[in-house]
Structure 1
Amino acid sequence: MKHASLSFLCSIISFFILIGCSKQEKEDEIIRALRSSNNLLFKQNNKEAMNRLESIMYTDTTQKQERFKIVHISDSHLSSVSISNNYAYPENLIQSVNFANQAEAKINAIVATGDFISNEKKKMVTKFLQSFANNYLVENYIPALLCTGNHDCNITDKYPNAFLSKKEINKILSLPNTNCNYYYSDIKNPQGGYIRFISLDMLDQPAAEYNTMFYAYFSQEQINWLGNVALKQGITEQHSIIILTHYPFQYYSPEAKTYLCDGDFVHNWNMIPEIIEAYRSHSSINKSYTNKISKNKDIYADFDFTSSKGEFICYLGGHSHCTTYFNINGLTNENKALLPQKMLLCTNQAPSEIGKVYNRVKREENSLTSNSFCIYAIDTHKREIHITFFGAYKPTDKADYPAIQCISY
């Protein structure tokens, strides 16, 4: 820890020595300092994470049958002030991509569940988002998927003219559908069949009617696409579904009784989970969901899944800046014959972005706790999700928190 603290101090000193230099020279020096100080830390974290991954990546000791493996990052919050996710050289983001692309890791997909940027003036946030796209997508040689988060359109009172439109986000992130920021992608499962990733867009409004910094908005068009296309088109019995979304699917609780204690949904929080419950139950749903802000703008879900194929695995999300998983309860059409729907949250990538309530994992820059992301091995035969971690994961109030966990779905 002394070595890490010294390294961190040297980085800060170097930064202030360069105050008289040009902006580009400062950024170049930051990059050199980060590369030097974090290389050894990455190697140690990588070794530990690889050892854990190797223990869950196969279904048995013969190592002949692989599970489907995912690296899950969230809330990267690239900015000009972060040490380890500075947009000039987002070290933690780069580490996650490097980890996922190691041949021996045999990762099948990497996902990022929103909040790629922190908020600032439009010129700067455009640079932040472009840096995220460059470092997450350009040199990623495995399938890389993402969904938007509440920070990503930069709709803030502090910077009223800094809003990033859907088209601007789409263009920078090079999303597969140029007309919208939601999509699905099928990825081959080593256990047979495919994993279908459905990426939702919580910023799906035509302009800036709602403050999506604090409200998740899903349009009627997106809901229709989810029920009629994403959950049906090309789906076979060999498909398993994972949904990417930023906000936790729980009711808003200002007292932090749920993980949704900062922000809310424009429509009922259970709208999408109830659609998924109808899909899982091979039943129909015919229901209106109230718009809590605007009158006469409710959303209508009318889908018939009686002959649906495939199965639902889980949701992957972020926002709360903590790593956890929970059952989704409170659905009006809950099927008691099935296990409850599961949602897995991944913490933020950098210590500069402190969680308001649930982030009890100690994080320090230039240390083994600087970075944090989740690694999953999904067994579609046994319907299990094996969970492990890279970097920080153990809450300070849970000394016995396991490095490897397993849940059924």
Structure 2
Amino acid sequence: MAITTIVMDVYKPGSELKNKVVDISDSFNARVGDNQVRLVIKYVERGIVERMEQEQLTPFMMGWVGQPDEEQKVTSETGIAVSYHGSTNDIIGGGKVRMDLPGTMFPQEGMFYGFFGLENDKGKRVTTNTVRFQVENDNPDMYVDTEPFRSELQKLLDWATAQAKSDLSGIGTDWEALKATIKAMIEKDDTDLITISNRIGLAEDDVAKLLKKISDAGLAKMTDIQPIIDELTKARGNYADLAAHINAMGAVDVDESMVSGGFVKSYFEPEIKRVKAELLPDLFTFTQMNDTHWETLTRNRPEAYRSLNHIKNALSFADVSDLIILNGDNTNSDTASLDGVKKDVETFSDVFFDEPLDHKTDRFIGIGNHDDGSTRRSYATPYRYLAQDNYLHDAYFRKAYRSNELLNGETRNNGSLYFFKDYPKKKIRFILINTNDIEEGVFDDSGSQKFDRWGTHTVRQEQLNWLVNVALANVPSDYHVVVMGHTPLNANQEGGWHDSINNGDVIGYHNLILVADVLNAFRDGAKVEINSSEANFPLNITADFTTQGPRNLVGYFCGHTHRDGVTTYNKLSIIEVPCSVFYNNVKSRFIETATEDGFDVIQIDTTNRNVNIHGFGYCENRSVKY
């Protein structure tokens, strides 16, 4: 019988009731003298997973073991005191701890009566309701399975071993071959095997089919077993081989609800309610999600495919948002073939735009440096830029992101990937710029595309002309202007993302600073001469806002850095929103908890000149004055 995860709330629900005790005997018991008994506890607080790593909390357990009194309590008078104090090694993620309890925790027959909790060396201590379970003596009927957790492939190995000993005709040799293959892989890297097993569905689907054949025909032939061996063998290859193989298969076996965009998962629902409860009425509100990095197969992290489903979380704020925007690096676009990149972009866009909503809210998609598939050059051999026909172009994204359709009544530059829209009732002008504004059709000496979005963060002359002469022109004096783009504008300033890049392969970023200069001149009603020092992307314009006069500039909102951050450039607030893509246990993020996702619901309080940022999932609440 599998070990049960027991959920305990440190908020101690029902603690106002006298003698509130949680009986976990249906899930866990022990026997006198048992050693290394595994007990798995998931700690939550009012339904939200405890973030133990942030405060360096470790599990502990205290109580008495003995005979209960007339009130069903065990005290120092009727029992033996026991305690367990764990370490960070007990933490397994997602709010869970796995304690291997020593024999001293079960010194005699009776009942354990005590509590679980979390503590750190700084004096913090949180506890649960009182807990009880049975400690038996010579009773073999125990609800405890101390067998270690086993991966799906380890289970498959056990199953194959058993089949090898079967009397079914001819099966022994075949299953021995399968067993040897699986065993070699387990010894090599079990964690990676679990990932591959989940991705291509070897351990369950194919085995189920073979079981049926064994049942129906009384034996399994080598022609049945060889495909599994072949799949496992191919999976041992490098990424490029595996990617090409899976693309050739035409499908990846993952959670279908994730691939299709699915629905709001139940573990996100309390977080949605919490954020909505924080929002103030009548303020301009936009939901910003960026860096979902979704793709059917990812080199980076196997969990990243879940982020397609995160779109549903953003859309759940349609009833309280004036607009919802997916702000670049929407797809990771790292699959082996260009057709695979296209399929991911189109799937992502369809899930976002075609979801029926009960509330009318504007939906926009902006572009980032990953979306066009140019990241694939990082593992090309030899390393080089991609050919003109091996990545996606502006014309493709204008159709995929539906910018040609002007779905929300916005103003664009001939269907451009940048736009602005006014919200007169809220006195807001919202502007999105394209910070990966590459020049296409320019080649290097090898004939490859000279610039691509992955390594090019810039704004070119045409877009800057539009920004100065259209988007920032004729703005009513009582409007407040919100500007957004994928990449921070202060790319080469202290605290900016460029400080962490050391590959020398980022092009055009100086132009982003010049955009910040234009925005500051707009705010101050000033004049600025723009002359780019970027030889590849020359800029030359005079932005004169003296006639228009000073205007209300809220700030610049971006992604790309995958972090919560606020920096300034000449008093311009540059507000970074973290990534929606899930990276396991990075910054205390855990799968199937609210922390799996991260985005912001942002409100502009024009009266108090304040930006109220409501973090969803692992994102933090913040407030920025302007």
TM-score (norm 1): 0.77
Give, in whole Å, the separation in 2 of the partners of 1:79 and 1:353.
Answer: 16
Q: 2:345 aligns with which of 129, 132, 154?
A: 129
**Alpha-carbon deviation of 1:76?**
0.9
**Alpha-carbon deviation of 1:29?**
4.3
The residue number in structure 2 matching 1:365 is 591
Give, in whole Å, the separation in 2 of the partners of 1:114 and 1:34.
Answer: 18
**Alpha-carbon deviation of 1:165?**
0.6
Confirm or deny: 8 A CA contact 2:294 2:331 kept in the other structure. Answer: yes
Q: 1:47 aligns with which of 254, 273, 292?
A: 273
Indicate how the Cα distance of structure 1 residues 205 and 28 shifts in structure 2: closer, same or farther if over 3 A, else same.
same
Asked if residue 171 in structure 1 is aligned to residue 385 in structure 2, the reply is no
Indicate how the Cα distance of structure 1 residues 31 and 326 shifts in structure 2: closer, same or farther if over 3 A, else same.
closer
Confirm or deny: 8 A CA contact 1:115 1:150 kept in the other structure. Answer: yes
Q: 2:524 aligns with which of 266, 276, 281?
A: 281
Give, in whole Å, the separation in 1 of the partners of 2:579 and 2:509.
Answer: 26
**Alpha-carbon deviation of 1:107?**
1.4
Confirm or deny: 8 A CA contact 2:460 2:538 kept in the other structure. Answer: no
The residue number in structure 2 matching 1:112 is 326
Give, in whole Å, the separation in 2 of the partners of 1:33 and 1:132.
Answer: 9
The residue number in structure 2 matching 1:242 is 482
The residue number in structure 2 matching 1:150 is 369
Q: Secondary structure at the match of 1:134?
A: helix
Q: 1:313 aligns with which of 544, 554, 562?
A: 554
Asked if residue 302 in structure 1 is aligned to residue 530 in structure 2, the reply is no
The residue number in structure 2 matching 1:351 is 582
Q: Percent identity over the alignment?
A: 16
Stretches of structure 1 lacking an aligned partner (at least 5 in a row):
59-65, 330-339, 355-359, 394-402
CA-based RMSD of the aligned residues comes to 3.2
* Counterpart residue type for residue 323 of structure 2: A
**Alpha-carbon deviation of 1:194?**
3.0
Q: Secondary structure at the match of 2:278?
A: helix
Q: Deviations over 1:329-370 (max 9, x none)?
A: 4xxxxxxxxxx111111111122499xxxxx62222222210
Give, in whole Å, the separation in 2 of the partners of 1:145 and 1:25.
Answer: 28
Confirm or deny: 8 A CA contact 1:18 1:26 kept in the other structure. Answer: no
Q: Secondary structure at the match of 1:266?
A: coil
Q: Secondary structure at the match of 2:349?
A: helix
The residue number in structure 1 matching 2:496 is 258
Give, in whole Å, the separation in 2 of the partners of 1:123 and 1:318.
Answer: 27
**Alpha-carbon deviation of 1:405?**
2.6
Asked if residue 197 in structure 1 is aligned to residue 431 in structure 2, the reply is yes
Give, in whole Å, the separation in 1 of the partners of 2:579 and 2:292.
Answer: 6
The residue number in structure 2 matching 1:396 is none
Asked if residue 18 in structure 1 is aligned to residue 260 in structure 2, the reply is no
* Counterpart residue type for residue 581 of structure 2: A
Indicate how the Cα distance of structure 1 residues 185 and 34 shifts in structure 2: closer, same or farther if over 3 A, else same.
closer
Max radius of gyration: which structure?
Answer: 2
Q: Give the aligned length.
A: 359
The residue number in structure 2 matching 1:81 is 297
Q: Deviations over 1:353-407 (max 9, x none)?
A: 99xxxxx6222222221011111111112110011211112xxxxxxxxx53322
Q: Deviations over 1:108-129 (max 9, x none)?
A: 1112221011122211111111
TM-score (norm 2): 0.52
Q: Deviations over 1:279-318 (max 9, x none)?
A: 11111112311115x3xx5211212111226421111111
Indicate how the Cα distance of structure 1 residues 28 and 373 shifts in structure 2: closer, same or farther if over 3 A, else same.
closer
Indicate how the Cα distance of structure 1 residues 302 and 31 shifts in structure 2: closer, same or farther if over 3 A, else same.
closer
